[in-house]
């Protein structure tokens, strides 16, 4: 792509990405802080990807997701995952109709735009596998019939990092299906005071509808056109391959710390999310900063560390930081 083509694309994206600022601004009328969380959720919408949220209760995860659904005029369903949840509670089942004598499908709450799977690790394996089909294939099988999901469909799953009794850890194959894993932290003192002032009033803040799901679907097409230089593709490949063969990139100490590196799905996710990040910042081209800014969220759940690393108190954040410091930036 020539420089002139990139300039023309950037001008087009500047015009057609203005709604992003309006969406985020409207969401911030309800949500205090959580700027990174809101941006990552919006990136997931643009990338047609799913998000795993990890954080303590009461940090506005549900409020943020519901507010975003309201702003984009999308349908929203929250499912509380429990140990006795059945796949039918999630995807639906066949109901016998006494008048006709036939079985008719009763679709479950997963047939919506944004699904909040609350405390996903509390559900048994059968429920998790039913969710996996919907996430990976964008379809659900009820009885002998397969039903497609809506075109705009993403799963936003939460898990509590502290209370692990009675939970079923997500298998690596399902973790890899999530575009991002986002860690949600406490608000600052000023942010929490703002929360106190805003939420303790008689009238609760409410966000207006800014766009429709069709606007997001159109933006996806533009995101795929964002220019990515060959050097940046090599940079992404360098980061991913460093998780598999760190000794080849001059980081031999990571060899004993990483048990399993990132999959090719991580490469695709880094590229797709980098393009979407450029789009929300009104650019028609990807920069190294786009890649760096989303690398932690794309990679942290895809690295399986060794027992030795865990024993030494090393987590995936430290490993990713070391990789980004060693891989040459174009």
> pLDDT tens digits, residue range 66-95?
889 999 998 999 988 888 888 888 888 888
Better-predicted residue by pLDDT, 100 or 237: 237
DSSP 120: G
In whole angstroms, give the CA distance from residue 205 to residue 218: 29
In sequence order, the 6+-apart residues with CB closer than 8 A to the CB of 75 are 69, 112, 113, 114, 150
Predicted confidence (pLDDT) at residue 155 exceeds the cutoff of 80: yes
In whole angstroms, give the CA distance from residue 272 to residue 268: 6
What would the mean pLDDT of 222-239 be, rounded to a whole number?
92
The tens digit of pLDDT for each residue in 261-286 reads 888 999 999 999 999 999 999 998 99
Better-predicted residue by pLDDT, 309 or 16: 16
Closest CA to 306 of 297, 296, 319: 319
Beta-carbon neighbour count of residue 223 at 10 Å? 23
Predicted confidence (pLDDT) at residue 166 exceeds the cutoff of 60: no
pLDDT band at 163; cut points 50, 70, 90? low
In whole angstroms, give the CA distance from residue 183 to residue 161: 10
- Looking at residue 295, its pLDDT comes to 93
Closest CA to 17 of 249, 203, 275: 275
Beta-carbon neighbour count of residue 80 at 10 Å? 11
Predicted confidence (pLDDT) at residue 173 exceeds the cutoff of 90: no
Strand order in the sheet with 76-80: 76-80, 114-118, 154-159, 50-54, 178-183
Go through the domains of the chain in sequence order and give each one's CATH number: 19-217 (3.40.50.300), 226-326 (1.10.8.80)
Better-predicted residue by pLDDT, 131 or 50: 50
Predicted confidence (pLDDT) at residue 311 exceeds the cutoff of 60: yes
- CA Rg value for the chain: 21
Output the CA torsion 207→79→182→267 (10° steps): -110
Q: What pTM value is reported for the model?
A: 0.87
What would the mean pLDDT of 12-18 be, rounded to a whole number?
87
Predicted confidence (pLDDT) at residue 201 exceeds the cutoff of 90: no
- Looking at residue 291, its pLDDT comes to 93
User: What region does 244 belong to: left with phi over 0, alpha with psi -120 to 50, or beta?
Assistant: alpha
Predicted confidence (pLDDT) at residue 220 exceeds the cutoff of 60: yes
Concatenating the DSSP letter of every residue in 226-256 gives: SB--HHHHHHHHHHHHHHH-GGGGT-GGGTT
% of the chain exceeding 90 in pLDDT: 24
Predicted confidence (pLDDT) at residue 168 exceeds the cutoff of 70: no
- Looking at residue 299, its pLDDT comes to 93
- Looking at residue 232, its pLDDT comes to 94
Q: Is the Cβ–Cβ distance between 177 and 136 less than 8 Å?
A: yes
Residue burial 88-125, b: 16+ Cβ < 10 Å; e: rest: ebbbbbeeeeeeeeeeeeeebbbbbbbbbbbbbbbbee
- Looking at residue 13, its pLDDT comes to 87
Q: Is the Cβ–Cβ distance between 156 and 117 less than 8 Å?
A: yes
- Looking at residue 279, its pLDDT comes to 93
What would the mean pLDDT of 161-189 be, rounded to a whole number?
78
Closest CA to 275 of 298, 241, 243: 298
- Looking at residue 165, its pLDDT comes to 56
Least confident of 14-28, 76-90, 144-158, 189-203: 189-203
Q: Is the dihedral of CA 166, 171, 177, 180 positive or negative?
A: positive
């Amino acid at each position: 792509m020539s420089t002139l083509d990139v300039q023309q694309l950037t001008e087009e994206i500047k015009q057609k990405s203005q709604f992003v600022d309006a969406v985020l601004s409207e969401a911030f009328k309800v949500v205090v802080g959580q700027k990174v969380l809101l941006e990552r959720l919006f990136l997931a919408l643009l990338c047609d990807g799913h998000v795993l949220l990890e954080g303590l209760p009461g940090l506005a995860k549900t409020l943020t997701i519901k507010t975003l659904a309201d702003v984009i005029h999308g349908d929203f369903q929250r499912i509380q995952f429990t140990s006795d949840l059945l796949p039918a509670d999630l995807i639906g089942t066949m109901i016998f109709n006494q008048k006709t004598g036939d079985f008719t499908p009763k679709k479950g709450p997963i047939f919506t735009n944004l699904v909040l799977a609350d405390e996903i690790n509390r559900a048994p394996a059968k429920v998790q596998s039913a969710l996996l089909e919907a996430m990976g294939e964008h379809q659900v099988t009820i009885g002998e019939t397969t039903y497609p999901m809506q075109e705009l469909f993403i799963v936003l799953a939460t898990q509590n990092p502290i209370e692990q009794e009675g939970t079923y850890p997500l298998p690596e194959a399902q973790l890899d299906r999530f575009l991002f894993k986002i860690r949600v932290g406490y608000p600052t003192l000023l942010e929490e005071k703002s929360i106190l002032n805003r939420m303790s009033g008689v009238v609760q803040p409410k966000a207006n509808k800014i766009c429709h799901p069709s606007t997001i679907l159109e933006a996806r097409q533009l995101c795929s056109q964002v220019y990515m230089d060959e050097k940046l593709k090599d940079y992404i490949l360098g980061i991913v391959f460093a998780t598999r063969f760190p000794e080849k990139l001059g980081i031999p100490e990571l060899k004993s710390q990483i048990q399993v590196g990132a999959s090719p799905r991580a490469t695709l996710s880094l590229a797709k999310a980098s393009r979407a990040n450029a789009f929300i910042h009104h650019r028609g081209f990807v920069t190294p900063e786009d890649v760096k800014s989303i690398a932690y969220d794309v990679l942290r759940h895809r690295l399986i560390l060794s027992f030795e690393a865990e024993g030494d108190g090393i987590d995936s954040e430290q490993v990713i930081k070391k990789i980004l410091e060693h891989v040459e930036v174009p």
